[in-house]
């Protein structure tokens, strides 16, 4: 197997690569586990993983020459994680189009030119949903994104579906929940606070929560998200039915419950470092996202959420 | 008002232009009727309408220079009808992407550069729906196209919605039913037979129906389709709610009922000119389309379907 991960130097990309190295195999075209002999990590920055099976390639995923260079002959699996995140896609419309649509098309075209169609796992988002939403959101609910990131992810999903139907790739578009707790620093995602309100207080820093405490958020741990990407990769095409787009399991928690959990796990002093300061730009994006999704097909593929948010906080503390 | 119609030399484009000339006005930015002083018909072929208010420009809507030239300063309304139809988009994947996605993006970008955001009416299709469908299809049903045309139209819808939300255009994406009876010759749409099985027998010719008689089709007369495009144009943005995509009223008739209606209106000899010869390529596309849609918002805007299919056949005979 030759595995390509775009956004491969990012938090999720490197974590996925490490998990693949640990596992050593992925389902091949006939669904039997096959040995991973090479992992290509493509990103704007170099990845930091040292392993003879890993190569790190730096460039712009919206540059046609770079995209052709990262899709090596014999590539069997692609995890397309590279994206401009929600807050940034909203602030820079053209950049969002370029990376979230144009780069995805370049990558799909490069895959189409491979001798055999690769498995292609595309990370989509719950931001494809919007407008008045029932709880939970059914699997057949319309795509009605209320921000540019969600629009661009929905377009990516549609392309992945059509390229799969045509037999150019064997695609899966996975609608990941908001991932928390991410290590490191805040990013430009509107959901960045969902990690910040746990991570910063634990590090002794003040965190600002830009949404009201009663705001529900659909979340997943990094560990679950990685497992779900791998399960989506390995599942047979037939498990997807007529749509390659998939809601994956998560937990529905409010910002207030997240901070209450932090207090329970780490104490009142830590939790008191969260300041509630509503940011209308962020809140107007986040409060339009769905709070809970139906995940019937994903569950049938064996995907499970974390048991509760406390497990997510404890796993983060244990891992850092 | 300066009105641009892409696909302006086509059947629907020219019919829309004639109707606009007849009306003389369209709703302006403040919703009051304003005088139409210029209609630009852009297409690969020249339009045949002679009127001092009409200019016909020929070129390729996927050519950036041509698109910039057709979106004149002061353009107030755009009807984007140019498209590669379903059968052709399925046969030539790259052509479909180029015209149905790339050209739409070029046009949206040219509109974004206007001093004031124009009304932008995009013709979408019921082909954005697919997979197992309830009857009728609710307005909130997911976009799950099962052919490339539907995929590309769904992508166009998403772009029209996001460009509208950003204030770059004031868009409406209208999911027209299959239009019948079209005059002229068959085209490469999978639904072309829906006109052919009425038109050809009336002209004394044999028509081949490529789908089984029990296949339901969601249809509209050309007259209704034009009125609905104009009503979608004139409706206030608030009437659309959180989505600019709109199901418009149609009639659900089976191919068999269509031919039975022809027999009732024009006699057994005429109807006997229809031959049932299943074409799997066409049938596999058409039988995946929805047979009936919920049209709650469109009805609230005053849109109505024809009373019955017989009215459509009689109007065609009267008009030709």
- Mean pLDDT check: name the lowest of A30-34, A201-205, B28-32: B28-32
Query: Using the beta-carbon criterion (under 8 Å), do A158 and B146 form an inter-chain contact?
Result: no
Angle at B106 between CA B104 and CA B112, to 5 degrees: 100
Which of B101, B151, B175, B247 to substitute to test the interface with A, most A CBs within 10 Å?
Answer: B151
Taking CA–CA distances from B109, the nearest residue in chain A reads A94
| CATH code of A301's domain | 3.40.50.720
Report, as an integer, the average pLDDT of B158-183. 97
Is residue B184 left, alpha or beta, with left meaning phi > 0 and alpha meaning psi from -120 to 50?
Answer: left
Interface test with B, best of A139, A158, A238, A281 (most B CBs within 10 A): A158
Reported as a single tens digit per residue, the pLDDT across B104-120 is 999 999 999 999 999 99
A65 occurs within a structural domain: yes
Q: B94 burial class (0-12, 13-18, 19+ CB within 10 angstroms)?
A: exposed
ipTM: 0.95
Looking at the domain assignment, is residue A59 inside a domain?
A: yes
DSSP state of B82: -
Q: What is the pLDDT of residues A92-120, one digit of tens each?
A: 999 999 999 999 999 999 999 999 999 99
Instruction: Answer whether B93 sits within 8 Å of A166, measured CB to CB.
Output: yes
State whether residue A287 sits within 8 Å of chain B by CB.
no
CB of B9 closer than 8 Å to CB of B43: yes
What is the pLDDT averaged over residues B168-189? Answer: 94
Helices then strands, counting H and E runs in chain A, come out as 13, 14
Query: Domain tally for chain B?
Result: 1
* Chain A neighbors of B175, CB-CB under 8 A: none
- Rounded CA-CA distance B165/B93 in Å is 29
In a domain, residue A146? The reply is: yes
Dihedral pair phi/psi, residue B64, rounded to 5°: -55, -40
- β-pair type (A251-254, A216-220): antiparallel
Read off the pLDDT of each residue in A254-272 and give the average, rounded to a whole number. Answer: 97
Residue B265 within a domain:
no
Q: At A72, is the pLDDT very low, low, confident or very high (cuts 50, 70, 90)?
A: very high
Q: Are B192 and B186 in contact (CB under 8 A)?
A: yes
CB spacing of B158 vs A151 below 8 angstroms: yes
For A103, list phi and psi in degrees, rounded to 5. -65, -40
- Range name among A71-80, A254-263, A278-287 with the lowest pLDDT average: A278-287
CB contact, 8 Å: B260 with chain A?
A: no
- Calculate mean pLDDT across residues B260-281: 96
- Report d(CA A95, CA B234) in Å as an integer: 33
Q: Answer whether residue B81 is part of any domain.
A: yes
pLDDT score recorded for residue A320: 62
For B39, the token pair is 């209609």
With contacts defined as CB-CB under 8 Å, which chain A residues touch B130?
A: 242
Distance CA B43, CA B28 (A): 25
Average the pLDDT over A213-219 and give the result: 96
Main-chain dihedrals φ then ψ at residue A68, nearest 5 degrees: -60, -35
In DSSP terms, A104 is beta-bridged to none
Half-sphere exposure (CA, 13 Å, Cβ side) for A198?
Answer: 30
Q: Domain for residue B259, yes or no? A: no
**The token pair that represents A278 in the structure block:** 């509503």
Residue A158 within any structural domain of the chain = yes
Range of the domain at B171: 2-180+220-250+292-306
Which chain B residue has the Cα nearest residue A245? B144
Question: Does pLDDT of B320 surpass 80?
Answer: no
Residue A267 located in a structural domain: no
């Amino acid at each position: 197997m030759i595995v390509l991960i775009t956004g491969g130097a990012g938090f999720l990309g490197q974590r996925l690569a490490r998990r693949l190295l640990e596992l050593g195999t992925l389902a091949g075209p006939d669904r039997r586990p096959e040995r991973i002999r090479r992992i290509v990590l493509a990103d704007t920055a170099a990845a930091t993983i040292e392993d003879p099976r890993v190569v790190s390639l730096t460039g712009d995923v919206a540059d046609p020459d770079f995209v052709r260079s990262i899709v090596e002959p014999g590539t069997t699996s692609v995890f397309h994680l590279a994206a401009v995140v929600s807050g940034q896609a909203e602030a820079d419309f053209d950049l969002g189009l370029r990376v979230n649509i144009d780069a995805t098309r370049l990558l799909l075209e490069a895959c189409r030119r491979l001798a055999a169609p690769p498995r292609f796992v595309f990370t989509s988002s719950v931001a494809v949903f919007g407008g008045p939403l029932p709880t939970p959101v059914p699997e057949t609910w319309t795509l009605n994104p209320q921000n540019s990131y969600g629009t661009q992810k929905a377009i990516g999903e549609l392309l992945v579906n059509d390229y799969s139907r045509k037999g150019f790739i064997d695609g899966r578009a996975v609608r990941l929940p908001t991932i928390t707790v991410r290590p490191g620093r805040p990013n430009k995602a509107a959901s960045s606070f969902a990690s910040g309100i746990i991570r910063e207080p634990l590090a002794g820093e003040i965190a600002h929560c830009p949404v009201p405490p009663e705001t529900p958020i659909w979340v997943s741990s990094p560990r679950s998200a990685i497992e779900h990407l791998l399960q989506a990769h390995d599942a047979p095409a037939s498990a997807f039915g007529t749509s390659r787009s998939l809601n994956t399991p998560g937990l529905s928690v409010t910002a207030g419950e997240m901070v209450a959990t932090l207090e329970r796990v780490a104490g009142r002093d830590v939790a008191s470092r969260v300041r509630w300061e509503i940011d209308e730009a962020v809140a107007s994006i986040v409060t339009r996202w769905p709070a809970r999704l139906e995940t019937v097909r994903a569950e049938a593929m064996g995907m499970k959420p974390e048991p509760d948010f406390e497990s997510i906080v404890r796993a983060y503390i244990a891992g850092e």
